[in-house]
Structure 1
């Protein structure tokens, strides 16, 4: 028999193994030539257990007599991935079960935009991945090199920050994060400048695709950058919240509604639309 189990990094999981109930059970769990867990004479026999599994394995002792030799493996790590063999011998039968374990890491990603008086920068983040991610950048249709980078390790997991200076605001910029089982994309784009007069109202649109809005983990955040100070204006993640007076998000298209405008409302408005697999940053300058 063959089964596949997916567990979460640092959590517990159960490797299933059942057998026809019998007398004098002998249970061996192995991974290749490593002894993961042994049980006979009605008790655990762990003298030869591989040190990587010390204090992390557990059988369901009350259920062994009913034909259950499943193994609970605690505090999963990426090196636990692979193929496990469960052997059970009784006076009556012999049973072998193969279980493939995959360990999933809950990684997350972000694209951040920063503006100073002299330059605009994008920072692309991959947090807590395994293995190390590959990060690539494109300006329009042309691939481009990162302009800065920082790598850190947390045990076996990797975190990377990759920077890109924005040279031409007419082009969109893309950050692609590549991992064996996952791809993530961040996009930055500057739209045409808007202008209005004091006392009026304005709607600042935000680009998004309608199928994105139905994704689990969908969120929208509007911020304003003015004189190098960033203010969070409003957000939406199933319900909308306003953090400043005179602003609200239109829940049908996630545009920003701004009323009773004053000259202090001038600045760069950033709409961040994110799902677990991508982030889209749209920037518009408002001149009052």
Structure 2
């Protein structure tokens, strides 16, 4: 634009809608003329005015719901004026988690999200059939919500899926649970537990965390853990091993050697990323090795 110009940014009427999460940057504040900053901003009430010759951007960092509203930009020069408005809507979506719990004789799955706004839709499916009897616990009303959604797991080996969707931010997370066939072994043998991510979801460059745990009396004991970001494997059970060359292909099967009677129980593989969680449960039965005696020996 020729000649001197005045740019103003303030709240006002709107022509467009911008949807952002709490932790994301809305726009950026700097004025550029011939590749350099020509003037710093100075705040006047709720408006930020910049005296520039060319491009102006306005930055909002560390967004909160208080930042919601309509923002207008005014540009005036000796040859004319220009006005543009945008509506800022702020949402929240902290990565949800899926948990498996066993209490006495009942088992349950819990999908939880610590902070979400607006209220999300939560759906459950078993074998692609909708489940309508989930129990929902909700905390919060004015700010973001903390929500737990729980379903009971039947004795069948049908897969379960939980989906949490934030319509404002257009984000969806899914949790998957599957029970595999029981494994039967004898003392001193070894057993392989299988655990994989669906081919259409696994991405080699995506950060994931994988843990193998043993469930006992409602408590989970972590046997091993892998983090793709660091490629680090931490093993708390020396008899448990992973084939590292298969890990980066999305295969997280493990092998437990020199089985003992105390190894009886449920084994849970937990794979989590920002977009999904996969839980795979297998029950191990270890039989006692007996040695027959003959001829008095």
Quote the offset at 1:232 in angstroms.
Answer: 0.5
State the Cα deviation string for residues 115-134 of structure 1 (Å, max 9, x = none).
12311011111221111111
1:194 equivalent in alignment to 2:173: no
C-alpha displacement at 1:166, in angstroms?
Answer: 1.2
Partner of 1:278: 276
Gapped runs of 5+ residues in structure 2?
A: 1-14, 35-40, 287-297
Q: Does the Cα contact within 8 Å between 1:137 and 1:146 map onto a contact in 2?
A: no
Contact conserved, 1:126 with 1:133, CA < 8 A, in 2? no
Contact 1:234–1:249 under 8 Å retained in 2? no
CA shift, 1:255, in A, is 0.5
Aligned match of 1:152 in 139, 150, 156? 139
Q: Using the alignment, how far apart are the partners of 2:71 and 2:139 within structure 1?
A: 32
- Cross-structure match for 1:217: 207
- The alignment status of 1:234 with 2:224, answered yes or no, reads yes
- Residues 73-127 of structure 1: CA distance to partner in whole angstroms, max 9, x if unpaired? 3442346456532112245542334456454534211110011231101111122
Structure 1: 5+ residue stretches without partners: 22-38, 50-56
Considering only aligned residues, what root-mean-square deviation do their CA atoms show, in Å?
Answer: 3.1
Describe the SS at the equivalent of 1:216.
Answer: coil
- In structure 2, distance between residues paired with 1:58 and 1:125: 40
Deviations 1:169-228 (A, max 9, x none): 322222121221122221211111001111122211113234515251222211101233
Superposition pairs of residues 75-224 of structure 1, within 5 angstroms? 75-78=62-65, 80-81=67-68, 84-91=71-78, 93-99=80-86, 101=88, 103=90, 105-153=92-140, 156-180=143-167, 181-210=170-199, 212-214=202-204, 216-224=206-214
Matches within 5 A, 1:260-275: 260-275=258-273
Aligned-partner Cα distance in 1 for 2:209–2:275:
12
Kept in 2, the 8 Å contact 1:226–1:266? The answer is no
Quote the Cα distance in structure 2 between the aligned partners of 1:246 and 1:84.
61
Label 1:241 to 1:44 Cα distance change in 2 as closer, same or farther (>3 A).
closer
CA, structure 1 residues 81+215, in 2 after alignment: closer, same or farther (shift >3 Å)? farther
Q: Match for residue 294 of structure 2?
A: none
Q: What is the rounded CA distance, in whole Å, between the counterparts of 1:107 and 1:115 in structure 2?
A: 26
